Structure 1
């Protein structure tokens, strides 16, 4: 005979399985991890925006305030580099013609060395073997012509007013530094020089330090004063765009006396830097430049232009890789300008905005999701949404240059701006992302491979964080690390 359960026991037997299920912890997913991260940030007044798309279909797999517009900072470089790759292809190379305009008389060249601006951002750069020796290549070509002396100038054609090259919305107090070098039509040595300050052991710390410019032929008037009342040691510089020289202050606490410091400074006249470089290379080869006041024999023939050589850049894929991995502002601006010339026949910020706008329309990305003003992200006028940034990467993956763009993104724990980010044996090699940083803003957009997911083996993502400050309990980089790791390791839903 079965004994009937009492009402309390019956209710308990019915409710118990449900209670047990409610207490069982849910397996974490990308959504739950991201939700916890973003709730922590937004509880402190920060703003988080993110989206994840399937890299093959574009299907949205996760989103959080993906329509909110924020400053993209250097993630704007993905827009400019993807655009120029789409227009010119990964194998494109800049070509900078060099010619002679004058006449040769018994080993004496009377005339000018003329360089045509090509917009090559790598000319004379130490980053590439084929560009680092540009001045030496010019000098060798002259020497091969039998030239043992010369009297004339190094001239560069196609150099517009410097002020027009300074980006709209760029911070004026960044103007002295190399990362804010003007993207002039002619670029040499990335339009920067290095300033080092030093004190000999035992020197009075209040005295002016010794200054040294690199390269040695650079001519940038610099004044450095000393401030021993600062909390931290640093070397900061200011100058007015277009004005000669730079003023720097070497600060340190009264209790400290640092012996050396250095800073990379921008130059307004790269043509003068190039001219000094060529003159130095010729002098080292025993081909001196005679002063203009020295009497020279009359030329046998009227001056005529004659090609000397063409300086060729690395392929565009290599320039894009340097741009994105190292977040090079000058490269991004010059590549953007080259894209504008290809599309609209002009190289200025008006043409750049219009050309990038047309390219985004071609990709089906509306202006409400991306409003580009420059190519590097230095401008505070740029606006973007996570949805717009992710769509740029997604549409690029569907085009022939897509692999070159992905290859240009920093790899977490390996190189570029993500070289120091922590990875695990599971996440290593699977996270690629362009970073962007401005005051209070931190952005990431990239590609993540999911080796354990047959349905969504690769995803595209964008993560934008705004209203951040140094006191935020969850730092932006840590939020990215945890979000990106979840994209590799956890179920999407």
Structure 2
């Protein structure tokens, strides 16, 4: 009888027991967070593509539209830098020979200083102590030969730029700026000068400002006008049609009067800049350049080339590091073209497409996943998939130069183009990625270390965002921050 009474009572209590046990929410995982991010972006009309693999085995761990082709922007630099490292090795250094062609007559050198263009993108750059002193090295070598006066020129050989004044698909309105400097076979001071604009206190803001170029020996035709009707303050420059030089407009709102501004501009003739630099360095050492109108003190024999000095670059690993961390377009183009010369004997963009295509084929990357047109990513003709970009980095990790390539990638919260990105104690130092930005496009490719995950301690990833709009509720930088942090912290399954 008691058993008969207990059974209905237990059945009645079962629903109540279920109510007291609320269902626990699912623990967050990397895939759930990534899909939530992408859903938010795609609901607003953006495109999102991502691919993640194990850094050792290549096992796919996450994919989302990884086959969609988008503009890679500066993530194309990973392709060019990985390729040149594979061909030349991390210890390779450019060597630029300098010779004298002329005769010495009682301390007077009658002839030319001749430079053989070697394609070194760092020659004369302020980034490296050994390259910043290029002109001083030439001047010191001439003084050491007993030269006290000089009549002649600085000449650069091997500067036929007919095939690549600019990269194919580059935007014409970028051409005046330093980030779009032409990748000439002879580079000096990164083919860049600094334009400074200033107004003294009390000067009418509508009047043309004072213009100054740095370095002081630079020569660049500039025309600067003022626009006081703009919404914000900036300096906008374009190349002048029909001749060298640039035309700039210093813009600001009517109620503002900025006193100073600077902009880095590209120069067309780096050999002229180098010649002026050498002449200045010699003057500082008391060696003047005499006018060509002076008669020779004695009949001269035909000039015989005499080696003077060889200008040597930093190792390729250092050049690649500044290329990727600072996203230097000129360096990426020159490194890509140097790889092309190594593979084909030519330095043209047609040869570059062929050489990079063959390199990608060697890595098992089909053309449908990566179609490079230039080395920097400035070209709007480049196409890439997240799958292709990941494959470039993954295959590089298996080769001797892999460490040099990984160390060249910006570190979130520390340096390069990711220096300002927020990190936590857990994510700090564990996110490395090359960034890429063009209008409406934002891309990232890199490696992430996962502490505590013995199965997948390091992963390679690519995140590509297209059709982005300035008013998007989830900005691309925030999407990357959350995506990368989740790769460090959350389970992959």
Q: Same fold (TM over 0.5)?
A: yes
What count of residue pairs does the alignment treat as equivalent?
A: 492
* 1:309-353 deviations in Å (ceiling 9; x for gaps): 100000000000000000000000000000000011110101111
**2:77–2:377 contact (8 Å) kept in structure 1:** yes
Equivalence for 1:315: 315
* 1:233-264 deviations in Å (ceiling 9; x for gaps): 11110014882111000010110000000100
**1:329–1:376 contact (8 Å) kept in structure 2:** yes
TM-score normalised according to structure 1 size: 0.97
Alignment of 1:3-22 (within 5 A): 3=4, 10=11, 13=14, 20=21
**2:163–2:348 contact (8 Å) kept in structure 1:** no
Equivalence for 1:372: 372
Q: Structure 2 CA distance, aligned partners of 1:196 and 1:263? A: 7
Q: Structure 2 CA distance, aligned partners of 1:353 and 1:8? A: 80
Instruction: Pick closer, same or farther for the CA change 1:172–1:14 going to 2, 3 Å.
Output: same
Instruction: Pick closer, same or farther for the CA change 1:8–1:475 going to 2, 3 Å.
Output: farther
Alignment of 1:88-127 (within 5 A): 88-127=88-127
Instruction: Pick closer, same or farther for the CA change 1:137–1:10 going to 2, 3 Å.
Output: same
After TM superposition, give the deviation of residue 6 of structure 1 in Å.
7.4
Q: Structure 2 CA distance, aligned partners of 1:452 and 1:419? A: 25
Equivalence for 1:462: 462
**1:222–1:245 contact (8 Å) kept in structure 2:** yes
**1:162–1:184 contact (8 Å) kept in structure 2:** no
**1:163–1:242 contact (8 Å) kept in structure 2:** no
SS across alignment from 2:298: coil
Equivalence for 1:35: 35
Alignment of 1:417-456 (within 5 A): 417-456=417-456
* 1:450-471 deviations in Å (ceiling 9; x for gaps): 0110000000000000000110
Equivalence for 2:245: 245
Instruction: Pick closer, same or farther for the CA change 1:19–1:398 going to 2, 3 Å.
Output: farther
After TM superposition, give the deviation of residue 15 of structure 1 in Å.
11
Instruction: Pick closer, same or farther for the CA change 1:9–1:89 going to 2, 3 Å.
Output: same
**1:162–1:242 contact (8 Å) kept in structure 2:** no
Alignment of 1:316-465 (within 5 A): 316-465=316-465
SS across alignment from 1:2: helix
Q: Structure 2 CA distance, aligned partners of 1:76 and 1:5? A: 74
Instruction: Pick closer, same or farther for the CA change 1:12–1:230 going to 2, 3 Å.
Output: farther
**1:225–1:248 contact (8 Å) kept in structure 2:** yes
Q: Structure 2 CA distance, aligned partners of 1:11 and 1:95? A: 89
Equivalence for 1:208: 208
SS across alignment from 2:92: coil
After TM superposition, give the deviation of residue 302 of structure 1 in Å.
2.9
**1:116–1:158 contact (8 Å) kept in structure 2:** yes
**2:164–2:183 contact (8 Å) kept in structure 1:** no
In the TM superposition, structure 1's runs of 4+ consecutive aligned residues that sit over 3 Å from their partners are 3-21
Instruction: Pick closer, same or farther for the CA change 1:16–1:298 going to 2, 3 Å.
Output: farther
Equivalence for 1:82: 82
Computed over aligned residues only, the root mean square deviation of the Cα atoms, in angstroms, reads: 1.7
TM-score normalised according to structure 2 size: 0.97
Runs of 5+ unmatched residues, structure 2: none
Alignment of 1:186-201 (within 5 A): 186-201=186-201
Q: Does residue 1:267 correspond to 2:232, yes or no? A: no
